């Protein structure tokens, strides 16, 4: 689980900006807040849900991008040593592009607390460090780059469990544009610590983006036991949020590419298909939902289902994957097509099931801030400053005696409210469009 994530000089984040996942130890004066919001580790309350709110262009998606960028740097080894790393500094000034991007993640792997930090420029990985954090910090390694010799240097600490020979092999195979962790992944070396951290970045940090594989593919996989469990949970929730869907089924149709070839399909098409389907067989899955009403029971193709219903199911599949996989996952525009009441129900359901996992969501649905179950210190308020950089604020009050929704609604872009109230400004738009 993530304790904190720090960004500096990345896209819209110019100054060092910390995203803390620590919950306050204060409670409301009238009633305590649900402990389901956090997991306590070493006396710290690590939040299981973080809600990011702000206007369009206020940096919510870019925060998710930064976490994805850190993960990519940590585990992906460039195909060529001469490749330059992807570099995305703050661009709305005349000096930030000269400085490296700095990212730092503090997280827990099997109850052990680690800090991983990295500096990257347009030329190379400038620095990388992995530290075991506890009562006394213990460095695993510090990787730097010697500009005089143009070589990577690694200083190993007491927390490193590599043999002497393996340390040497790892250093000579870590090039300017690769991290130590990504180099370790490609070598046959033994280290429980490095393996655990590599596995964490590979399998415990994920993100949801539009264009992921189809819902039918997610609902019918090779894991029948998991598919059955997810189906049971989805149907239960669809019933609870008052749909008449009582079941669903995924039908499969297969087509052998060689059959298309024998019927004279174009060579270019056959080649493209074989690249996309190396097995030589195209599998198409069709998702149908069974509706039960007072008059009939009928199966309907997913294409005719409402957007909201489909988005609810997509979100549920994501949440169950997070919960079962014990992941930390970002979801942008979590409310897309989902009614506020249904979203509130789903998030509360997630919190009741979440154990060793985290969900970080961005939303424009401010009504979720008025939910009675909301823990206010789990909200992050994003705002763009005059410089173009982003500031992130965490509410100081967490108890339910303060109307967080009304307070934030007054704070967010009051200048827009004043503009909306001026009818004359819309006349200017009319003149621009149609003339005097």
Identify the bridge partners of residue 118 per DSSP, sorted by sequence position. Answer: 103, 128
* 174 located within any domain: yes
Separation between Cα atoms, residue 390 and residue 41, nearest integer Å? 30
When pLDDT is cut at 50, 70 and 90, the band that residue 30 belongs to is: very low
Query: Above 60 in pLDDT, residue 213?
Result: no
Dump pLDDT digits (tens) for 298-311: 999 988 888 888 88
* 396 located within any domain: no
Who wins on pLDDT, 329 or 402? 329
- Which of 133, 136, 147 shows the shortest CA–CA distance to 104? 133
Domain boundary (307, 327, 347) is at: 327
pLDDT at 413: 65
Query: Does residue 245 contact residue 290 with C-beta atoms inside 8 Å?
Result: yes
- Which of 64, 77, 343 shows the shortest CA–CA distance to 205? 64
Q: Are 60 and 111 part of one and the same domain?
A: yes
Mean pLDDT of the chain: 88
Q: Are 235 and 180 part of one and the same domain?
A: no
When pLDDT is cut at 50, 70 and 90, the band that residue 32 belongs to is: low
pLDDT at 17: 95
Half-sphere exposure of 435 (CA within 13 A, CB side): 0
Who wins on pLDDT, 255 or 348? 348
- Which of 263, 241, 106, 128 shows the shortest CA–CA distance to 182? 128
* 405 located within any domain: no
Separation between Cα atoms, residue 349 and residue 131, nearest integer Å? 35
Radius of gyration of the chain (CA): 25
> How many domains is the chain partitioned into structurally?
2
pLDDT at 131: 97
pLDDT at 397: 57
Residue 334 burial class via C-beta count within 10 angstroms: exposed 0-12, middle 13-18, buried 19 and up: buried
DSSP, res 111: T
Query: Above 60 in pLDDT, residue 401?
Result: no
* 400 located within any domain: no
Dump pLDDT digits (tens) for 239-290: 888 888 999 999 888 888 888 888 888 888 888 888 887 888 887 888 999 9
DSSP, res 346: H
Query: Above 80 in pLDDT, residue 66?
Result: yes
* 112 located within any domain: yes
Which structure tokens are listed for 224? 């029948």
Domain that holds residue 70: 2-25+34-208
When pLDDT is cut at 50, 70 and 90, the band that residue 125 belongs to is: very high
pLDDT at 403: 66
pLDDT at 255: 82
Q: Are 92 and 129 part of one and the same domain?
A: yes
pLDDT at 284: 80
Span between the terminal Cα atoms of the chain, in Å:
60
* Average pLDDT, integer, range 118-144: 94
Separation between Cα atoms, residue 59 and residue 92, nearest integer Å? 14
Greatest pairwise CA separation for the chain in angstroms: 80
Residue 190 burial class via C-beta count within 10 angstroms: exposed 0-12, middle 13-18, buried 19 and up: exposed
C-beta atoms surrounding 119 within 10 Å: 20
Query: Above 80 in pLDDT, residue 126?
Result: yes
For the chain, how are helix, strand and coil distributed in percent, rounded to 5? Answer: 35, 30, 35
Dump pLDDT digits (tens) for 314-326: 899 999 999 999 9
pLDDT at 33: 58
Hey, CA dihedral for 351, 353, 354, 359, is it positive or negative? negative
Question: Of the ranges 116-130, 159-173, 221-235, which one carries the lowest mean pLDDT score?
Answer: 221-235
Question: Of the ranges 145-154, 162-171, 181-190, 412-421, which one carries the lowest mean pLDDT score?
Answer: 412-421
Q: Are 135 and 252 part of one and the same domain?
A: no
Query: Does residue 28 contact residue 5 with C-beta atoms inside 8 Å?
Result: no
Q: Are 6 and 149 part of one and the same domain?
A: yes
């Amino acid at each position: 689980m993530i304790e904190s994530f720090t960004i500096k000089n990345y896209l819209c984040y110019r100054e060092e900006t910390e995203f803390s996942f620590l919950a306050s130890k204060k409670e409301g004066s009238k009633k305590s807040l649900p402990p389901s919001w956090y997991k306590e580790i070493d006396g710290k309350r690590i939040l299981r849900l973080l809600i990011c709110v702000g206007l369009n262009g206020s940096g919510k998606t870019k925060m998710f991008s930064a976490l994805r960028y850190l993960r990519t740097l940590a585990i992906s080894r460039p195909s060529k040593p001469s490749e330059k790393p992807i570099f995305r500094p703050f661009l709305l000034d005349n000096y930030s592009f000269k400085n490296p991007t700095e990212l730092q993640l503090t997280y827990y792997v099997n109850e052990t607390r680690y800090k991983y930090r990295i500096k990257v420029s347009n030329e190379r990985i400038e620095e990388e460090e992995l530290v075991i954090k506890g009562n006394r910090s213990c460095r695993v390694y510090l990787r730097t780059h010697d500009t005089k010799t143009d070589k990577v240097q690694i200083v190993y600490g007491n927390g490193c469990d590599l043999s002497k020979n393996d340390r040497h092999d790892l250093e000579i195979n870590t090039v300017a544009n690769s991290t130590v962790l990504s180099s370790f992944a490609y070598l046959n070396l033994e280290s429980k610590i490095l393996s655990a951290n590599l596995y964490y970045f590979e399998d415990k940090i994920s993100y949801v983006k539009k264009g992921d594989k189809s819902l039918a593919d997610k609902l019918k996989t090779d894991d029948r036991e998991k598919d059955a469990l997810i189906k049971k949970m989805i149907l239960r929730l669809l019933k609870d949020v008052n749909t008449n869907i009582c079941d669903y089924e995924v039908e499969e149709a297969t087509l052998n590419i060689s059959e298309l070839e024998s019927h004279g399909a174009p060579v270019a098409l056959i080649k493209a298909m074989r690249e996309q389907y190396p097995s030589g067989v195209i599998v198409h899955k069709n998702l149908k939902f069974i509706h039960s009403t007072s008059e009939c029971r009928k199966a309907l193709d997913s294409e005719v289902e409402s957007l909201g219903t489909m988005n609810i199911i997509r979100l549920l599949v994501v949440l169950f994957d997070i919960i079962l996989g014990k992941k930390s996952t970002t979801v942008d525009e979590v409310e897309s097509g989902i009614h506020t009441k249904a979203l509130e129900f789903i998030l509360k359901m997630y919190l009741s099931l979440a154990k060793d996992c985290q969900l970080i969501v961005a939303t424009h649905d401010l009504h979720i801030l008025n939910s009675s179950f909301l823990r206010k210190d789990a909200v992050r308020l994003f705002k763009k400053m005059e410089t173009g950089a982003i500031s992130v604020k965490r509410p100081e009050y967490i108890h339910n005696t303060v109307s967080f929704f009304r307070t934030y609604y007054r704070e967010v872009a009051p200048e827009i409210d004043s503009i909306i109230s001026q009818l004359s400004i819309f006349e200017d738009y009319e003149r621009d469009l149609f003339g005097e």
